[in-house]
Amino acid sequence: MLGKFKNKNIPLVWALIGALVSSVALGYAYFLLDSKFMNSRQESALAIAELSLERDNLTKRILGLEEENRYLIEALYSEQGKNRLFEEQINEIANTVGLLDKIRRTDPELLQKYSKVYFLNEHYVPSELGAVNSGFIYEQGRPMLIHARVNPFLEQMLREAVSDGMNLKILSAFRSFDDQEFLKSNYKTIYGSGANQFSADQGYSEHQLGTAVDFTTVERGATFDRFEETNEYRWLLRNAHRFGFVLSYPENNSYYQFEPWHWRFVGVRLATKLFNEGKFFYDLDQREINEYLAYIFDQS
């Protein structure tokens, strides 16, 4: 029976064995594959974990660097701010030093208000005098002096007046104390005690300073008669401030008689301020005037 069975079923047995062996082999292969797969999954998971750790570290470093960067930028800004402040302070100091130096080098008498009780010392002489361009002098051949630093302003003003068709001439500029004495005694001879009212005390100081000019026109000549009616006077009223000149004794002023011909240099800045505000030099406080001393020879 067994033998029969044996003989008959040998191929089947082999087939079964074969199937068994192959399923075992397959199972083993599957096991191998699976464990390999598992391993590689584990490895991947590990690698991913490592990578994410690394990423986290990198993120932290980036955040750290950004923080550091922000800090550096802030520090830079703060340094720049300090530098700017420092620079501003230096400029301010330089400006102050420059201003002080300008004030120190500028004769304070140039912007002094003079009156019947306060006038220039008889020994005063301007620091520098220059000859007035002879083309602008009324009496040809009579040399005339003016403060050397006022001269360019005067010349520029007269050139512009000429180009506007004005016939403005200079009758008098710098006058020394002795010149003035002579003039005054002459006036006294002619006009008696009224001479004080006419020529002298107040306007005199301004001529001795070398910064005042008496104008006339060819038509008006050597007299000051009705100069206020000329186009030249009106031109001066509109334009003289641009060249730093002001009318010292305007009409209806309370400190001296009206002298339309007498103009004093006070600098473009102060003259322009007075012009814009409709004020006159002698209306201002001496203290307010003194603030303009440093700028007296500036072009604007």
- 265: which 2 tokens? 């240099």
Considering only the stretches 91-99, 219-227, 256-264, 277-285, report the one whose residues sit in contact with Zn ion under the rule CB under 5 A.
Answer: 256-264
Residues 6+ apart with CB under 8 A from 130: 145, 146, 147, 148, 151
Name which of 149 and 262 has its Cβ closer to Zn ion. 262
Other CB atoms within 10 A of residue 190 CB: 10
262 vs 271: CA distance, rounded Å: 15
Q: Does 214 bind Zn ion (CB under 5 A)?
A: yes
Choose the stretch contacting Zn ion; rule: CB under 5 A; options: 10-18, 118-126, 192-200, 261-269.
Answer: 261-269
Interface region with Zn ion, contact rule CB under 5 A, candidates 50-58, 147-155, 258-266, 282-290: 258-266
210 lines the binding site for Zn ion (CB under 5 A): no
Q: Does 201 bind Zn ion (CB under 5 A)?
A: no
Q: Which is nearer to Zn ion, 211 or 294 (CB)?
A: 211
For Zn ion, the closer of residues 280 and 290 by Cβ is: 280
Residue nearest to Zn ion (CB): 262
Question: Least distance from C-beta 84 to Zn ion, angstroms?
Answer: 51
Compute the C-alpha angle 176/181/186, nearest 5°.
125
Least distance to Zn ion, CB of residue 96, Å: 37
- Residue 289 CA to residue 242 CA, distance in Å, equals 17
- What Å distances lie between residue 291 and 234, 269, 296, CA to CA? 29, 11, 10
* Minimal distance, residue 213 CB to Zn ion, in Å: 7
Q: How far is the CB of 264 from Zn ion (least distance, A)?
A: 8
DSSP states of 237-258 as a string? HHHGGGGTEEESS-TT-SSS--
Q: How far is the CB of 219 from Zn ion (least distance, A)?
A: 19
Q: Which positions from 59 through 118 interact with Zn ion, judged by CB under 5 A?
A: none
203 is an interface residue for Zn ion by CB under 5 A: yes
The answer to the question of residue 262 lying near Zn ion (CB under 5 A) is: yes
Q: Tell me which residue of 92, 87, 94, 124 sits closest to 108, measured CA to CA.
A: 124
Q: Which is nearer to Zn ion, 175 or 269 (CB)?
A: 175
Would you say 203 or 267 has its CB closer to Zn ion? 203
Rounded distance between C-alpha atoms, residue 46 and residue 33, angstroms: 19
* Total residues at interface with Zn ion (CB under 5 A): 3
Mark the segment that binds Zn ion (CB under 5 A) among 39-47, 84-92, 134-142, 259-267. Answer: 259-267
The C-alpha atoms of residue 276 and residue 241 are separated, in whole angstroms, by: 9
Measured CA to CA in angstroms, residue 66 lies from 58, 81, 282, 292 at distances of: 12, 22, 67, 54
Binding residues for Zn ion (CB under 5 A): 203, 214, 262
